[in-house]
């Protein structure tokens, strides 16, 4: 499906210059002189190389239609992660480069994920938007801080560092956003 250059969003998979690219970052720029354009950081799905490209609103680019299937994360063996199709029970093993190093810490046994494929070839994995994890370490509250405007550093059970409100302590289960590792709320369970 053809889309205008200014309609590109983060996460879109595009066919550009004969290769498949994922849009990693986008920035709409309107310089004082000349027309507006979209500055897009593209990552090659096959090789992992990155490039920055400018797309004007008059430019068109091919957005690739992906197929999404539900898979369950089973286990990690070395640098390989094994997932199972929940309908056919087929298993697929993917390397860490296919998952993205920022997503790997959030994988937990039995987690349901969406596996993205293009022309029967797996190109990536999408984790759930939110995960619930336990805080293992949290700094002490500094007297005088208010809960609404300040956050303190904390370490999650998966080893990732995040910032939480002062009233959150070690042992508390919290909901975390998987795309940036930010605190959302205290878990309701």
Q: Report pLDDT digits (tens) over 173-187.
A: 999 998 888 899 988
User: In this structure, which topology does domain 130-186 adopt according to CATH?
Assistant: OB fold (Dihydrolipoamide Acetyltransferase, E2P) (2.40.50)
pLDDT recorded at residue 112: 94
* Token pair of 180 as six digits: 């940036």
pLDDT digits (tens, 9 = 90+) for 32-81: 888 888 899 998 888 878 899 998 888 888 888 888 899 999 999 988 89
Q: In whole angstroms, what is the distance from residue 28 CA to residue 142 CA? A: 40
Domain parsing of the chain, residue ranges: 2-63, 67-126, 130-186
pLDDT digits (tens, 9 = 90+) for 121-167: 888 888 899 999 999 988 876 666 555 567 888 999 988 899 988 88
CATH architecture for the domain at 2-63 = Roll (2.30)
Q: For the chain, what is the radius of gyration of the CA atoms? A: 20
In DSSP terms, which residues pair with 117 in a beta bridge? 67, 122
- Block residue for tokens 């990536």: 124
Q: Does domain 67-126 correspond to CATH entry 3.50.50.60?
A: no
pLDDT recorded at residue 118: 85
CB atoms within 10 A of CB 167: 11
pLDDT recorded at residue 72: 94
Q: In whole angstroms, what is the distance from residue 143 CA to residue 77 CA? A: 46
* Token pair of 110 as six digits: 């039995």
pLDDT recorded at residue 178: 87
Q: In whole angstroms, what is the distance from residue 55 CA to residue 43 CA? A: 15
Selection from 98, 138, 145 nearest residue 117 by Cα: 98
- 22, 45 Cβ separation under 8 angstroms: yes
Whether 2-63 and 130-186 share one fold: the answer is no
């Amino acid at each position: 499906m053809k889309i205008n250059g200014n309609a590109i969003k983060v996460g879109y998979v595009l066919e550009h210059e004969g290769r498949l690219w994922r849009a990693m970052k986008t920035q709409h720029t309107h310089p004082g002189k000349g027309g507006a354009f979209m500055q897009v950081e593209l990552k090659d799905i096959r090789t992992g190389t990155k490039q920055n490209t400018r797309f004007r609103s008059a430019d068109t680019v091919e957005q690739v239609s992906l197929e999404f299937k539900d898979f369950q994360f089973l286990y990690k063996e070395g640098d390989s992660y094994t997932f199972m199709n929940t309908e056919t029970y087929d298993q697929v093993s993917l390397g860490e480069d296919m998952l993205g190093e920022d997503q790997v810490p959030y994988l937990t046994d039995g987690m349901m994920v969406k596996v993205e494929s293009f022309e029967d070839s797996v190109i990536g994995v999408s984790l759930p938007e939110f995960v619930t994890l336990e805080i293992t370490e949290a700094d002490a509250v500094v007297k005088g801080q208010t809960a609404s405007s300040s956050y303190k550093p904390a370490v999650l059970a998966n080893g990732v560092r995040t910032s939480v409100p002062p009233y959150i302590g070690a042992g508390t289960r919290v909901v975390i956003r998987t795309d940036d590792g930010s605190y959302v709320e205290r878990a309701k369970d």
